[in-house]
Amino acid sequence: MSENISAPATVMSDEADSAMEAGDIAGLPLANEPGLEPDFLIEVYAEKVKGEGEDSYLYIQGGDATLLATFDGCGGSGARGYERARGKTGAYLASRIASGAVRDWFHEGEAQGGDEAIALLKQRMSRYLAECRQALGGESLVRGTLAKELPTTCALLMLPHRGQDALAIWAGDSRCYLLDKGGLHQLTRDDVDSYDPMENLRADGVLTNVVSASSDFELHVRWIPVNGPCVALAATDGCFGYLSTPMEFERELLATLLESTNPADWERRLQKAFAEVAGDDATLCGVCVGFGKYDVLQDALAPRYHELCERYLHDIGDKDDDERRRLWEDYRKDYLC
């Protein structure tokens, strides 16, 4: 897990102090039992500045469900440093507080149910952020409509082990995905002022909704049927936001998978690929379900990799904007589901 920070015990309440810690990460391999239980986990945490990364992530394997989530502290509106937190920024703190809130929501049994569960998660996030804000000295000195106190994105995906749809919850532009033999499928919709995953790579739209301590926010919800083996992913925009097309993110995932010898090698290759192009922290948490063995996963997704390269990415660097747009319009039919 990424490095975490807690405020001094004399300042932070027990609950808020607990929220500053990120969730535990299980080791590899994970238990493989019948149904869509996890085979193994992958986790990538690439800091742009070592020790100062403003992303966080969370993985929990429960008895009935697996949860994975990523959080990207918003370094623009949350750039203020806090003396009581050893100079860490609001963005750094917010991603970890939100992660702790999700962890406790899951462990306290509040994740069961529909609208009530989402309301409980929002209440817990808001309470943890408010307590931390108070412990850090109350209101920020930052003013203006774009400034927020302790802002972060959130992309959360919960996979029941048997018989139910997966649940995606998000705010901001971190994303949840499913990767299967049919390709990569984006499950979430970015909270930006003009939405198109291809266009946003060039325009870098302004975030319209993030989790924060200083303003109301919305947690979007979507239920998704999971009908077979897949790789479930949560990622911050450092993983996909510095590529030329959305198709290239799928290529990075599949190329590094097929080149690797085991999950740890896949993680190393992904981290290297993200670090070479990203201008920001890049964080990805994923779980593979229903494949059983690593070579079975590779064999299952190899045909998709070859189709992707031949159909969408052959000589992509030589394509003009109109041709890239045509390819994107075809690709998005299955990508945006």
User: 211 in the Ramachandran plot: left (φ > 0), alpha (ψ -120 to 50) or beta?
Assistant: beta
**At residue 317, does pLDDT exceed 90?**
no
Task: Please check the confidence at residue 44 and state whether its pLDDT lies above 50.
Answer: yes
pLDDT in tens, 137-147: 854 445 444 56
The strand ranges marked E within the chain are: 38-46, 55-61, 65-72, 154-160, 166-171, 175-180, 183-186, 220-224, 230-235, 282-289
Residue 243 has what pLDDT?
Answer: 92
Which pLDDT tens digit goes with each residue over 204-219? 678 999 999 988 999 9
Q: Does the pLDDT at position 33 exceed 60?
A: no
Rounded to whole angstroms, how far apart are CA atoms 38 and 56? 21
DSSP 317: G
How far is the C-alpha of 225 from the C-alpha of 165, rounded, in Å?
Answer: 5
pLDDT digits (tens, 9 = 90+) for 79-128: 778 888 888 899 999 999 999 999 999 999 999 878 999 999 999 999 99
Q: Give pTM, 2 decimals.
A: 0.87
Which domains, and CATH codes, for the chain?
Answer: 14-242+263-292 (3.60.40.10)
Question: Which range, of 9-13, 14-18, 243-247, averages the lowest pLDDT?
Answer: 9-13
Render pLDDT for 261-310 as a digit per residue (tens, 0 to 9): 999 999 999 999 999 998 899 999 999 999 999 999 999 999 999 999 99
Through-space distance between the first and last CA atoms of the chain, rounded to whole angstroms: 31
User: pLDDT-derived band of residue 321, with 50, 70 and 90 as boundaries?
Assistant: confident
Residue 3 has pLDDT above 70, yes or no: no
- Categorize the per-residue pLDDT at 201 as very low, low, confident or very high, splitting at 50, 70 and 90: confident
Predicted local confidence at residue 84, as pLDDT:
83
Q: What is the CA radius of gyration of the chain?
A: 19
- pLDDT per position as a tens digit, 149-175: 899 999 999 999 887 799 999 999 999
Distance CA 116, CA 122 (A): 10
Q: Are 201 and 155 in contact (CB under 8 A)?
A: no
Confidence of residue 315 (pLDDT cuts 50, 70, 90): confident
* pLDDT at residue 114, rounded to an integer: 84
Q: How far is CA 222 from CA 22, 176, 313, in A?
A: 24, 11, 30
Please give the Cα distance from 103 to 41 (Å, whole number).
Answer: 17
> So what's the pLDDT on residue 12?
30
* pLDDT in the model for residue 21: 42
Mean pLDDT for the chain overall = 85
